[in-house]
A and B are shown apart, each in its own frame.
Chain A
Amino acid sequence: MSKEVPYTDPKKLLEALRRGEERAFEQVYRSCYRQISSMARSNSGTESQAQDLFQETLLVFLGKLRDPAFELTSDVCTFLYAIAQRKWWKQLRKDSRVDLTLDEQGHPTELPDVGNLEEKKAFEEKHRLMSRVFAGISEECRRIIVEFYYQKKPLQEIAEKMGLDYQYIRVKKHRCMNDYKKRIRAHPDFKGL
């Protein structure tokens, strides 16, 4: 099996991860998965749970990379392992809490807060709808908005990278946001949320 290591420079690997490049994800899988899988499987986990844990860990890590102030002082695998370990112990604690709160008849003594769950579901549905709408705006707009709002890059840097004038991109960002909002308002499912 070929073990591709497209990014030998750690900084470039992090940049590629920020861009969501599949080959960067693959490199991280090949380098870091075994350790995390072994940790989960040695602690009551199955292979399939280990795979889910790794995916969620990677998403948490990508979330951290959004913060421009974030600096990685250890290697990626060590960092992922630490996240995975915390997540896994949290999961185990959660599972054991469910077991411990069963009454004599085996019914849970603490019922989940349905109101909160429904609120959470509605919140997620709304953002999923917005995500679908956002996918429909122009590529240029998506790039500007993602880099500005999600990756928190300064407009000047985005303008330079895209080869655009600062004033142009400043106005363009507002136009893009305006277009995005208009599309949200016009979506047939929006009012139901």
Chain B
Amino acid sequence: MADDYQQTERISRYLEGDMAPAERQAFEAELEQDEALQKEVGLQKEAILGVACFVEENYRHAIQAVAGRLKHEGFFLNEENIRDYLRGNLEESLRAPFEERLKNDPAFAEEVRLEKDMLEGINLYAGGEEAQKIQRVRQRLQEEGFFPGQESPPKGKVVSLSRRRLIAIVASLAILLAAGLYLFLPDSGTGTYAGLYEAYYRPETAVLPALLDQLEASGFAQDAEQSRQLADALQRYETGAYAEAASALSTYLEQYPQDREARLFLGLAGLETGQYREAIPELRAAGKAAEPQVAAAANWYLALALLQTGKAEEATALLRQLAAGDTRWSGQARELAGKLSAMD
């Protein structure tokens, strides 16, 4: 066998298709006869595969290093983790990254605050219901003479109350009455639906940042101009210039009518500017998006828009569909559908 270097060079030229036909033919004839050469060719092929393995391992290590760093700063935390944190159930290993991100990421802190308000609202509502139930049981028991040594207040007796207590009771009654009229009384007409809309409507915070991030990183070949136009319109929406955003999105959709994400934000801009009826067809179209998060967001806001315009039956059906899924809107959809059913 030729010396190592020459052998390697020949095999390389053979494997890389760098041999003249006559030389190749001679090499192949030799290869057929020479077992050592066959092994050498095999080894060289394996060595090249080893290079791919080396590069892929390097990629893997680099990716793992990035993932580790992102994990440390709480990048992977999601809405379930926020709920666990607020309920005091967050896994111990996630506590430090959670607090780190809470400190450094204002958008995340806002998300946590919103979730907290929502949980408190649910607790308050549930607490109010509980208190009413207890009050009813207590009243019934009192009427049965259940409590020992109880005295019925003499009829016609004026019960004197301190001014502070009186103000507190009046204020509590006013709050309960207002809340009842606005939110819970089933026979108060469209005002109730509008009240539910107000109680449940929150600006969209899940799809928009992800979409803007995606557009920021895009601009690839064919759709660079499209991405720029959409990003421009969404940035207007993000800064609260809803009318401008709606106009920019309408122009954009004339050119790209199939863009469901743009339809979602055109619908949302409509909700923000009180154009509920106009928002409905846009949200309906966005609800057919392939991306589950976009479709779920569109359906949630569509249900709210339907509610606001008095189409409670359709809203309830849509909310039930959302409640059956597993999206960030499912919990709220379940709750709102429950309230609407209770109103029927």
Contacts and interface: CB of A to CB of B under 8 A. Distances in A.
Interface of A: 1, 3, 5, 8-10, 13, 20-22, 25-35, 37-39, 41-43, 47, 51, 55, 58-59, 62-63, 71-77, 126-131, 133-135, 142, 145-146, 149-150, 173-175, 177-178, 180-182, 184-185
A13 B48 contact: no
Contact of B227 (A37, A75, A149): A75
Given A130-B46, A131-B54, A31 B66 contact: no
Interface residues of B, number: 60
B310 to A, nearest CB: 31
Nearest to B73: A1
Contact of A130 (B50, B219, B293): B50
Chain A CB within 10 Å — which of B64, B76, B325 has the most? B76
Contacts of B74: 1
A133 B47 CA distance: 10
Given A177-B8, A178-B5, A29 B218 contact: no
A29 B8 CA distance: 41
B43 A177 contact: no
A126 B46 contact: yes
Interface string B304-326: 00000000000000000000011
28 contacts: A1-B105, A9-B219, A10-B218, A10-B220, A20-B59, A21-B62, A22-B62, A27-B217, A28-B217, A32-B214, A35-B291, A37-B76, A42-B292, A47-B81, A55-B67, A59-B59, A72-B220, A74-B223, A75-B219, A75-B227, A76-B217, A130-B51, A130-B53, A134-B50, A134-B54, A146-B51, A146-B55, A178-B9
A73 B63 contact: no
B85 interface: no
B217 A178 contact: no
B78 A37 contact: yes
B218 A134 contact: no
Chain B CB within 10 Å — which of A29, A73, A131, A142 has the most? A131
Chain B CB within 10 Å — which of A1, A13, A180 has the most? A1
A127 B293 contact: no
A177 B46 CA distance: 12
Contact of B214 (A21, A35, A126, A174): A35
B63 A76 contact: no
Contact of A181 (B43, B81, B292): B43
Nearest to B71: A51
Given A20-B58, A75-B214, A150-B52, A180 B66 contact: no
B216 A5 contact: yes
A15 B12 CA distance: 27
Given A59-B63, A127-B50, 4 more contacts: A29-B70, A33-B76, A35-B210, A51-B67
Contacts of B130: none
Given A20-B62, A29-B70, A178 B214 contact: no
A31 B70 CA distance: 13
B56 A59 contact: yes
B220 A135 contact: no
Contact of A34 (B105, B108, B210, B223): B210
Q: Which 7 A-B pairs have the closest CB atoms?
A: A130-B50, A75-B218, A31-B217, A1-B105, A131-B54, A127-B53, A178-B8
